[in-house]
Structure 1
Amino acid sequence: MVRQAAPAGVQTSISDLGTPLAAATFVVLDLETTGTSATGSRITEVGAVRWRGGEVVGEFSTLVDPGVPIPANITLLTGISQSMVAGAPPMEEVLPRVLAFLDAEPGTALVAHNAPFDTGFLKAACERHGVDWPGYPVVDTLRLARAVLSRGETRNHRLATLAAHFGASVTPSHRALDDARATVCVLRGLIERLRPMGVSSLEELRAVTKPPTKAQRAKRHLADGLPEEPGVYVFTDARGASLYVGKSKNLRRRVRTYFTAAENRRHIREMAGVVEGVTPIVCSSELEASVRELRIIAERKPPYNRRSRSPERARWVKLTTDAYPRLSVVRAVEDDGAPYIGPYNSAGEAEQAGEALLQAFPLRQCAHTFVPLGEAAPRVLSAGGGRWTGACVLSQLGRCGAPCDGGESLAGYTVHAEAARAAMTGDPSAVVEAHTARIAELAAELRYEEAAGVRDRLTAFLRGARRAQRLAAIAAVPHLVASRRTGGGWETCVVRHGRLAASAVLRPGTDPAAFLASLVATAEYVPAGYGPSPNAVPAETELVLDWLADPATRLVEVEGEWTCPLRSAEAHTGMTHWAHGRASAQ
């Protein structure tokens, strides 16, 4: 049955974060089933209550013919017998009605007690009947109760216990609608307990895992007076030293969440004990805020930030410029004309990428310094810290032509080196083909672990080659202006050699020509970088590239050419998904 009531009017404040709880719509759901397995059991009854602004505004209830026998113990528990469901509609008829009840209002949150159980059964039903699961935001009253209620306050967190604790007018009876009604009362009680803790939005409610600490509650006033604009916020201690840097579309709303139960990161809760101030830096756009956040973190290295603190630790794979080039893992790109791929976050991943290149091309792996002597074997000036004793075992394995011993001429070795350079800077087909063929061989022999290793090396190579090629393309552009429509106008950015040089919003009524001329004239001067390394940290340039790649972004001015190779690493990224499937076929 479906019963509708008129929705209650709710007035909300602009200071609320996300969807205010007073304005949020909740559908509280309960299912009765033939067992506990979402895949092996079936639903026998659905009960749901739509709740908004403290009022019940709709209910839904129906028995379901499960199409399978109901075990006797389930009938004893729920009272639902085989005869009761004999004339009930099957799940293929009930499922659209359930989803329609959930979808009746946009942004509805699904609530259940032990939500994974109920959502698991609904997802399984959707899969069986060829329906896409809509992916509703979910609130689990069991998880909330464990986080909010103090130890010993209730003897357990079962629905019946919590319903009695919060004075519910309905006693849970293992019938779907009664249990859903009782869950509404539990949800109401938990929300009332959380309001003094600063939880006032649906987003904060879903993030709750434990009550805020005393230190968090004491510092809540630090958000007062902050602007409701996009930008960067810097938490500082009593000496003014930076503790943590973040960004947000709305500075005041975001900072508020650090002092509520929605903030559950251990190191941030610890920070609340020493933070004494918040410095806001208003930005004209979200992109500018993201870039400023990266720059400030890299400059100040605040102790409570866990990422982006040390961009100098990145690694690149370089093909040296010797007469007989070799691969080397380095920390920085130099102005030496050498090809590079990366950057990588770890030396291990960079070494995997280098191994992928060595699998495809028989480059030397020694650290010798050679002097070419025409057609004769080159003279070894340095043996990389040891005494040279002739060609190594790699030449016997066919993985090196042994130029050091005269086994391969300079011209012959140069062919391999140029092929490796082409794979790094342009078309990586040779590396992809060598690895996919090897993965197929190993998978056919059921050697899946070895195949996974080959796959990982290929993935590392393509990731670094793709990053380097994208960075090199934008780093070569001396000046670019692009714009994207936002709610308040046109967000416009000046990018020079991969660095964000200026950002502003063209407001309605402003002369576009004058705005553009002023923005370009005041933009930062940015000299060119080296090779694929833009004149900014790679993470900043990748933020800029993602913004430029948005379909809503429009190019306004471009000096020079902004291009990527047609058969680039980007074109081969789909191969890693194929390789993953072959290597994981076990």
Structure 2
Amino acid sequence: MLFPASGTGSSLPRHEQAPAHGERPLPRSRPAPPVREPAGPARYVQASIDDLGTPLAGTTFVVVDLETTGGSPKDSAITEIGAVKVRGGEVLGEFQTLVDPGCEVPPYISVLTGITTAMVATAPRIGAVLPAFLEFARGAVLVAHNAPFDLGFLRAACEQTGTAWPAAASVDTAVLARRLLSRDEVPNCKLATLAPYFSATTSPCHRALDDARATVDVLHGLFERLGPLGVTSLEELHGLTRQVDPVRRGKRHLAEHVPSGPGVYVFRGPRDEPLYVGTSNDLRTRVRSYFSSGEQRSRMTEMVALAQRIEALSCAHDLEAAVRELRLIAEHKPRYNRRSRFPERALWLRLTEEHFPRLSTVRRVRPGAGVFLGPFADRRAADMATAAIHEALPLRQCTSRLSPRVPTSACALFGMGRCGAPCAGHQSVEEYARIAAVLRAAVDGDPSALVEPLLTRVDRLSAEHRFEDAGVLRDRVTVLLRAVRRRQRLQSLAAVPELAIARPDGEGGWALSVVRRGRLVAAGCAPRGTSVRDTLVGLRATAETTPDDDGELAATVDETELVMRWMEKPGTRLVEVTGTLACVAPGTGGFSGFLARVEAGRALRDPFADGRQLGTRSRPERVTGGSPAVGGGPVPPLASPA
């Protein structure tokens, strides 16, 4: 848009003149200097993008907050909507209503929010509430704290009722707070933390309108931080939340040579050491995203600042890429990878091979050295499974090696009925072997004899209103069952000498994998029109060699599980199998209902679980002062903390 400069009949500079009818006034925070010219025809100057922006002072915001029956729109519903309309620091109106979710309000939600089923029984349904709310918010910018949660529920409600979702801009005060506040000021960016920091007149209490009022005060407090930064328009505000660290943006050239297609990428540091290993079905797109505003993780920003080059390894398909990633992470242990760095730290429960076997926790599995159960991610899970087994079976818990010919004194567990005291000669080798056989049968095939007495005890404790004890035992049984199920699945694949798997590649061809004892040894593709079996012949000729059957496991647990999941995807074909691929029967299938109920109960106990971090972030999130240049100058760069 072109505006006439001075010399058009007014002695005032452009920023002090009254705007013409229908013309948007220029921001007063950065007046343009007067232009002195001799009398003559009017000259026109090009206005900057900043001058054409929407001033924050004239923007209408609708701050919204929801209360729901859970944490996901897929299985939860809205119980209350609260909203406050503000413009220029003044409250224009408020909106509040309870909503009938069409189901019972869970008790823990009632304790958290104070909203009960009786309160919403006579409330309108969401289909009747949405039109009124959307009319209230018409033409405004929607604001919410942790906006994906609230706006996600509103979008889902619009889809369910057939209501059109307006194309409105949105602002997330949690993201804005992470940009503008440091960890020295607030420990995190939760609403309950920010409200007292900005002296909010309303304390958040998990009621929609009160939380929306508190968010309004937080929004205004954050806007006060924008003035010294020269951010006065809505466009600049959105640009602030999408800013890219200059150091990260300046390294985009590192991704120039990265090809497309599936594969693994490795960021390497100053000494050519691996900093981070990742995988993607489109290497080029994924690597380039690290240099854009889409990557907001602070540790990734730090990693990119250290990176000197990017190594790209193309793979035949996604399974090969995922397996290569696992192996590279386990080999190099990059400092910026968090998962799968230490597969050797996985824990197993071993039933020892001796006259009176006992349970021990080990880190290595050696076939033929006893019965192994696991793996377990940490010591706590291993201890829970151990406690469940000892609850069901009177296995000895002492660590010394016992001899059936040299009896010793019994410990306190014998007096408590928790052990048969084979150490003191109260149990023969044959009697003790029958007890240990129950655990062997549970691990190898049917866990019913081990688990059913425990579940019976859970029911009895619940009937006696000993709910805490029942919950502890239930969690132990759950960990035990999951470990048995995982071990049986892994064993079924690790026992197969060789199998060839094929999956459609989406272009008329096939993605091929050769697996030996659970380890991927070769991968390739058979394009459309080529022979799959001829391709497999070449893959076998170049496949790597696995250890002998009497050695250690051929693959890590994570790799075998990747292969198993790839096999179970729809459309996968088993081309050739050497040996037998079969699952044990009956296995843990009879306890699938119990495990499903436990998983559903866990989701209900923590309905608002959210993996995203709301803590303040260091570089490049912190913003420092300094006004941008007039006339479309660059936005102030994000500062690096000292």
Which bracket does the TM-score occupy, shorter chain normalised? 0.5 to 0.7
- In structure 2, relative to structure 1, the CA distance for the partners of 1:155 and 1:577 (3 Å cut) is closer
Would you say 1:568 and 2:622 are equivalent positions? no
Matches within 5 A, 1:251-266: 251-266=283-298
In structure 2, C-alpha distance between the alignment counterparts of 1:125 and 1:220, rounded to whole Å = 35
Q: Of residues 508, 524, 540 in structure 2, which corresponds to 1:504?
A: 524
Q: Is the 8 A contact 2:80 2:98 kept in 1?
A: no
One-letter amino acid of the counterpart of residue 427, structure 2: E
Q: Is the 8 A contact 1:147 1:210 kept in 2?
A: no
Would you say 1:240 and 2:269 are equivalent positions? no
The CA deviation at 1:119 is: 6.4
Q: Is the 8 A contact 2:63 2:142 kept in 1?
A: no
- Aligned residue for 1:416? 435
One-letter amino acid of the counterpart of residue 437, structure 1: T
- Aligned residue for 1:519? 539
Q: Is the 8 A contact 1:126 1:133 kept in 2?
A: no
How many residue pairs are counted as aligned between the two chains?
A: 460
Q: Deviations over 1:119-173 (max 9, x none)?
A: 648848978998799999998423487169768xx965579x99x9766xxxxxx
Q: Of residues 541, 545, 557 in structure 1, which corresponds to 2:560?
A: 541
Q: Is the 8 A contact 2:350 2:371 kept in 1?
A: yes
- The DSSP-based 3-state class of the residue aligned with 1:298 is helix
One-letter amino acid of the counterpart of residue 502, structure 1: A
Q: Tell me which moved more, 258-267 or 557-566.
A: 258-267
One-letter amino acid of the counterpart of residue 402, structure 2: F
- The DSSP-based 3-state class of the residue aligned with 1:321 is coil
The CA deviation at 1:247 is: 0.8
In structure 2, C-alpha distance between the alignment counterparts of 1:138 and 1:301, rounded to whole Å = 45
- The DSSP-based 3-state class of the residue aligned with 1:308 is coil
- The DSSP-based 3-state class of the residue aligned with 2:403 is strand
Would you say 1:224 and 2:251 are equivalent positions? no
Q: Tell me which moved more, 443-452 or 542-551.
A: 443-452
In structure 2, C-alpha distance between the alignment counterparts of 1:255 and 1:277, rounded to whole Å = 12
In structure 1, C-alpha distance between the alignment counterparts of 2:413 and 2:345, rounded to whole Å = 31
- Aligned residue for 1:379? 406
Identical residues among aligned pairs (%): 38
The CA deviation at 1:269 is: 1.9
Q: Of residues 444, 459, 465 in structure 1, which corresponds to 2:463?
A: 444
Q: Is the 8 A contact 2:267 2:274 kept in 1?
A: yes
- In structure 2, relative to structure 1, the CA distance for the partners of 1:554 and 1:265 (3 Å cut) is same
In structure 1, C-alpha distance between the alignment counterparts of 2:593 and 2:515, rounded to whole Å = 29
Would you say 1:368 and 2:403 are equivalent positions? no
One-letter amino acid of the counterpart of residue 420, structure 2: G
- Aligned residue for 2:244? 212
In structure 2, C-alpha distance between the alignment counterparts of 1:296 and 1:504, rounded to whole Å = 20
In structure 2, C-alpha distance between the alignment counterparts of 1:558 and 1:422, rounded to whole Å = 27
Q: Of residues 487, 503, 512 in structure 2, which corresponds to 1:484?
A: 503
Would you say 1:551 and 2:570 are equivalent positions? yes
Q: Deviations over 1:515-558 (max 9, x none)?
A: 22222222222234569x74011111110011011122111111
Would you say 1:142 and 2:172 are equivalent positions? yes
Q: Is the 8 A contact 1:442 1:448 kept in 2?
A: yes
In structure 1, C-alpha distance between the alignment counterparts of 2:155 and 2:126, rounded to whole Å = 8
Matches within 5 A, 1:420-439: 420-439=439-458
- In structure 2, relative to structure 1, the CA distance for the partners of 1:156 and 1:246 (3 Å cut) is same
The CA deviation at 1:416 is: 0.4
In structure 1, C-alpha distance between the alignment counterparts of 2:311 and 2:335, rounded to whole Å = 16
Matches within 5 A, 1:82-97: 92=127
One-letter amino acid of the counterpart of residue 113, structure 1: V
- Aligned residue for 1:84? none
In structure 2, C-alpha distance between the alignment counterparts of 1:148 and 1:467, rounded to whole Å = 40
One-letter amino acid of the counterpart of residue 298, structure 2: R
In structure 1, C-alpha distance between the alignment counterparts of 2:162 and 2:458, rounded to whole Å = 33
One-letter amino acid of the counterpart of residue 261, structure 1: S
- In structure 2, relative to structure 1, the CA distance for the partners of 1:272 and 1:394 (3 Å cut) is same
One-letter amino acid of the counterpart of residue 490, structure 1: W
Matches within 5 A, 1:274-289: 274-289=306-321
- The DSSP-based 3-state class of the residue aligned with 1:509 is coil
In structure 2, C-alpha distance between the alignment counterparts of 1:270 and 1:408, rounded to whole Å = 62
Question: Which stretches in structure 2 are left out of the alignment for 5+ residues?
Answer: 1-59, 69-77, 86-94, 100-123, 135-140, 182-218, 606-642
Matches within 5 A, 1:198-209: none
TM-score by length of 1: 0.68
Q: Is the 8 A contact 2:145 2:174 kept in 1?
A: no
- The DSSP-based 3-state class of the residue aligned with 1:141 is strand
Q: Is the 8 A contact 2:489 2:583 kept in 1?
A: yes
The CA deviation at 1:371 is: 2.8
Q: Is the 8 A contact 1:423 1:429 kept in 2?
A: yes
Q: Is the 8 A contact 2:521 2:543 kept in 1?
A: yes
- The DSSP-based 3-state class of the residue aligned with 1:368 is coil
Matches within 5 A, 1:307-456: 307-372=339-404, 378-380=405-407, 388=408, 390-456=409-475
In structure 2, C-alpha distance between the alignment counterparts of 1:497 and 1:446, rounded to whole Å = 48
Q: Deviations over 1:407-449 (max 9, x none)?
A: 1222211110111110122111123212222222222333333
- In structure 2, relative to structure 1, the CA distance for the partners of 1:133 and 1:480 (3 Å cut) is farther
- The DSSP-based 3-state class of the residue aligned with 1:272 is helix
The CA deviation at 1:487 is: 2.3
- In structure 2, relative to structure 1, the CA distance for the partners of 1:580 and 1:270 (3 Å cut) is closer
One-letter amino acid of the counterpart of residue 498, structure 2: H
In structure 1, C-alpha distance between the alignment counterparts of 2:354 and 2:304, rounded to whole Å = 54
Q: Is the 8 A contact 1:476 1:528 kept in 2?
A: no
Q: Is the 8 A contact 1:504 1:519 kept in 2?
A: yes
One-letter amino acid of the counterpart of residue 240, structure 1: D
In structure 2, C-alpha distance between the alignment counterparts of 1:560 and 1:517, rounded to whole Å = 18
Q: Deviations over 1:277-318 (max 9, x none)?
A: 100001111111110001011111112211211111111101
- In structure 2, relative to structure 1, the CA distance for the partners of 1:91 and 1:583 (3 Å cut) is closer
Q: Of residues 515, 521, 526 in structure 2, which corresponds to 1:495?
A: 515
One-letter amino acid of the counterpart of residue 231, structure 1: G
Q: Is the 8 A contact 1:479 1:494 kept in 2?
A: yes
Q: Deviations over 1:29-80 (max 9, x none)?
A: 99799x976766568999xxxxxxxxxxxxxxxxx99799xxxxxxxxxxxx
One-letter amino acid of the counterpart of residue 506, structure 1: A
The CA deviation at 1:362 is: 1.1
Question: Which stretches in structure 1 are left out of the alignment for 5+ residues?
Answer: 1-28, 47-63, 69-88, 100-110, 168-185, 195-208, 373-377, 381-387
In structure 2, C-alpha distance between the alignment counterparts of 1:425 and 1:212, rounded to whole Å = 54
- In structure 2, relative to structure 1, the CA distance for the partners of 1:242 and 1:190 (3 Å cut) is same
In structure 2, C-alpha distance between the alignment counterparts of 1:134 and 1:442, rounded to whole Å = 51
Q: Is the 8 A contact 2:62 2:142 kept in 1?
A: no
